[in-house]
Structure 1
Amino acid sequence: MDPGGAGHNRASAEFRGVRAHGVLEHIDARREGHRLAEAGFWVVVGDFDGRVDAWRMAEVERDASPPVRTGRTWSGPEADAWASSLTRDEYLRGVERIREDIRDGDVYQVNLCRMLSAPMPAPQNGPDAVALSERLALGNPARYASRIVIPRGSGGDPGAWIVSASPELYLAVDGDRVRSSPIKGTAAPGESMLDKDVAENVMITDLVRNDLSHVARPGSVRVPELLAEHDHPGLTHLESTVEVTLADDARWTPSMWRSLLDGTFPPGSVSGAPKSAALRIIAREETAPRGPYCGAIGWVDADARTAELAVGIRTFWWRDGELRFGTGAGITWGSDPEGEWRETELKARRLIALASAERMQP
């Protein structure tokens, strides 16, 4: 068995403590979200640009022990092969335009991203995802790390090739409880957060609170964690947590997932506030689709009434002969354009080095 390896045509997915194999069916979850509440274990991939795909899997294993490493060698692009969808000057100008939008009262915060891509010819089902995921697990371990390899199918099934080292929770569902932990605010190790980081986190936490309140029982919204500093490989983030109890008419009913996705997707931490204005500005400023970067990556277990979806940051995805990786920063009135560009470099540096051709010792 070679799940997720190059040339392997059997669908597989691996998350924290969960492994799934074999696709029984594929759905467009924005149109058929009721299926996610009925039965089965579903792997979910939501593109930031709007599409949310879900695959019902044939086999599911739950095992909290670390997977056995295969020791495969990852052969990535050359380090100088990566190109950015926005040059440094284009990104700086974009930050200034967004600051003008904020000055004019059109928006409070916008997440401005750029896509890095490198040519990577590979077999039809993509490069060796197992090798890359093992390399990231050694060099950049992450709470919501995942690997998804689903070959393209018939009837509009786009398939998926994703290796993620996401540290951010988009939605966790356990029965009637829903939790989201937005990350906003980034600093290099040993550096202090700026006032801008704090303001940004508070704004986005309030946005997430508002998004979840649409499906919550009145009075059940809680913020048990606010502005907590969490250390990650190569950087520190500010993180907050919002929890709600689902309203009676939203508890694993046919409308539950449609309501959740309509109310919260794409995640607030990677769009902005107000979300509608931020999405309009993102469409104006960004020159490449984000795909699953900044989208949703995870699983829904309708039988157990649980789910765990990560925000698709620190995520590699392969499509049409290119390996892609996104990086961005939250822009507020207090943003320094050069500082925001450096933040995008800080977030990408470690992961791009791991995915490039240079070999890192285990």
Structure 2
Amino acid sequence: MPVTSLDAPRTPEPPSAGAAWFAGVRAQGVVECVDVRASPERLAAPGFWAVVGEFDGSVRAWRFAEVSRGAHEGPAEEQPAGGAWHGPAPDAWSSSMSRAQYLDAVTRTREEIRRGRVYQANICRVLSAPLEPVGGGEPDAQALSAVLTTGNPAPYAGGVHVATGGGAEPVWVVTASPELFLRVDGDVITSAPIKGTAEHPDALQAKDRAENVMITDLVRNDLQRVCEPGTVEVVDLLALEQHPGLVHLVSTVQGRLLPEVAGSPRMWADVLDAAYPPASVSGAPKSSALQVIAELERAARGPYCGTVGWIDVAEDGCVRAELAVAIRSFWWTPDAHAGGVLRFGTGAGITWGSDAEGEWAETELKARRLVALASAER
């Protein structure tokens, strides 16, 4: 058996099939997949990474061999390449919580607020439908993304698809997220939490504004853990954003990363330890809200309410990144019985001022348009 020197150059593994697409960025050919928190130093080397994080699980990043970079900012106006989308039937969807169960969860959350355990908690349910791919393989994620781009354009639209058995960790996520979790440009970090949703501006209530201010303050506290003292500021408070079929209240928080964070190979572990999961989809205080969520929700969120986006490291070491909160997002997983299951999450932030029926209606509003777009053949 021949002996190979450990110092001898290795023949690089050929890239695995896979694709990622975001505003101004298209990538293909997966080189490797890493757990961002376990191996953050891997993301310090030059390269483009697509990131998908589960709400209550790992945050993984896939490095791609071939990347086409355009203008990173702005809506994803260019539709990703894909075939025809074959979605589930409109009546095939089921919910992890019935209306009665969700109303009860809201009531129980308000009781926890009355007791002083939390000030706010985001309570979600997961919609699911069997989806067996037409002609074998896996559903065409880029085809669904094209449907959403046409019918529900969003500033942080995109997707990542690495098929099972393709030589790398599999993932199938398509997002039409309107919410920025984290943007990094050099040593500047920005977050823009959404709290407050209605069909039109006149329907927004005092409760929505109070909730937004509460979560904005939580985001500010999160960023202060990794930013230079005195640099974290709210640069926009309670801005009104219009999206297809609804409006949101959005605030923007910005700071300057500590030199020992921005220049560290452990940068992404430090940033995620400070800010993950996103404040807007957990609650305040975050640790207590996560406990309430675990007690009341009936299905794992998976990537919903986690994050999806990209990290781009230039040859000179400059880091740019745009990670969205993975709301308004679909994810697909294979299933031995159904052939596969397509899922979509929807939720609402619960405060003492919440009306249970109104919060259920908000979850319906957030899901209605996107689930309709993803249903049936297009």
TM-score (norm 2): 0.89
Shift of residue 37, structure 1, vs aligned partner: 2.2
- What is aligned with 1:285? 296
- What is aligned with 1:146? 158
- Check if 1:45 corresponds to 2:52: yes
Asked whether the 8 Å contact 1:50–1:266 carries over to 2, the reply is no
**Alignment match of 2:37 (pick from 25, 30, 38):** 30
Of 157-166 and 83-92, the range deviating more from structure 2: 157-166
CA distance in 2, matches of 1:138, 1:330: 28
- What is aligned with 2:138? 126
CA distance in 2, matches of 1:266, 1:323: 23
SS of residue in 2 equivalent to 1:289: coil
**What is the letter of the counterpart of residue 329 of structure 2?**
T
Asked whether the 8 Å contact 1:118–1:322 carries over to 2, the reply is yes
- Check if 1:313 corresponds to 2:327: yes
Asked whether the 8 Å contact 1:11–1:23 carries over to 2, the reply is yes
CA distance in 2, matches of 1:204, 1:180: 11
**Alignment match of 1:88 (pick from 92, 99, 109):** 99
- What is aligned with 2:12? none
Shift of residue 152, structure 1, vs aligned partner: 3.2
RMSD (Å) for aligned C-alpha atoms = 1.7
Alignment: residue pair count: 350
Of 337-346 and 284-293, the range deviating more from structure 2: 284-293
CA distance in 1, matches of 2:287, 2:77: 40
**What is the letter of the counterpart of residue 369 of structure 2?**
R
Q: Do the aligned partners of residues 119 and 334 (structure 1) sit closer, same or farther apart at CA in structure 2, a change above 3 Å counting?
A: same
Asked whether the 8 Å contact 1:271–1:279 carries over to 2, the reply is yes
**What is the letter of the counterpart of residue 167 of structure 1?**
P
SS of residue in 1 equivalent to 2:113: helix
Shift of residue 35, structure 1, vs aligned partner: 1.6
CA distance in 1, matches of 2:350, 2:130: 30
Gaps in structure 1 of 5+ consecutive residues: 1-8
Shift of residue 125, structure 1, vs aligned partner: 5.0
CA distance in 1, matches of 2:364, 2:249: 18
- What is aligned with 2:121? 110
Higher Cα radius of gyration: 2
Q: Do the aligned partners of residues 343 and 32 (structure 1) sit closer, same or farther apart at CA in structure 2, a change above 3 Å counting?
A: same
Asked whether the 8 Å contact 2:84–2:377 carries over to 1, the reply is no
- What is aligned with 2:13? none
**1:118-197 → structure 2 map (5 Å cutoff):** 118-122=129-133, 126-152=138-164, 157-197=168-208
Q: Do the aligned partners of residues 62 and 330 (structure 1) sit closer, same or farther apart at CA in structure 2, a change above 3 Å counting?
A: same
**Alignment match of 2:222 (pick from 186, 190, 211):** 211
Q: Do the aligned partners of residues 13 and 22 (structure 1) sit closer, same or farther apart at CA in structure 2, a change above 3 Å counting?
A: same
- Check if 1:267 corresponds to 2:272: no
- Check if 1:79 corresponds to 2:90: yes
Shift of residue 252, structure 1, vs aligned partner: 3.5
What is the identity percentage for the equivalent residue pairs of Structure 1 and Structure 2? 58
Q: Do the aligned partners of residues 168 and 329 (structure 1) sit closer, same or farther apart at CA in structure 2, a change above 3 Å counting?
A: same
Shift of residue 124, structure 1, vs aligned partner: 6.7
Q: Do the aligned partners of residues 184 and 68 (structure 1) sit closer, same or farther apart at CA in structure 2, a change above 3 Å counting?
A: closer
Of 252-261 and 279-288, the range deviating more from structure 2: 252-261
Asked whether the 8 Å contact 2:80–2:145 carries over to 1, the reply is no
Gaps in structure 2 of 5+ consecutive residues: 1-15, 335-339
SS of residue in 2 equivalent to 1:115: strand
Cα displacement string for residues 288-307 of structure 1 (whole angstroms, at most 9, x for unaligned residues): 11111100101111224110
TM-score (norm 1): 0.93
**1:216-235 → structure 2 map (5 Å cutoff):** 216-235=227-246
**What is the letter of the counterpart of residue 235 of structure 1?**
L
Of 350-359 and 24-33, the range deviating more from structure 2: 350-359
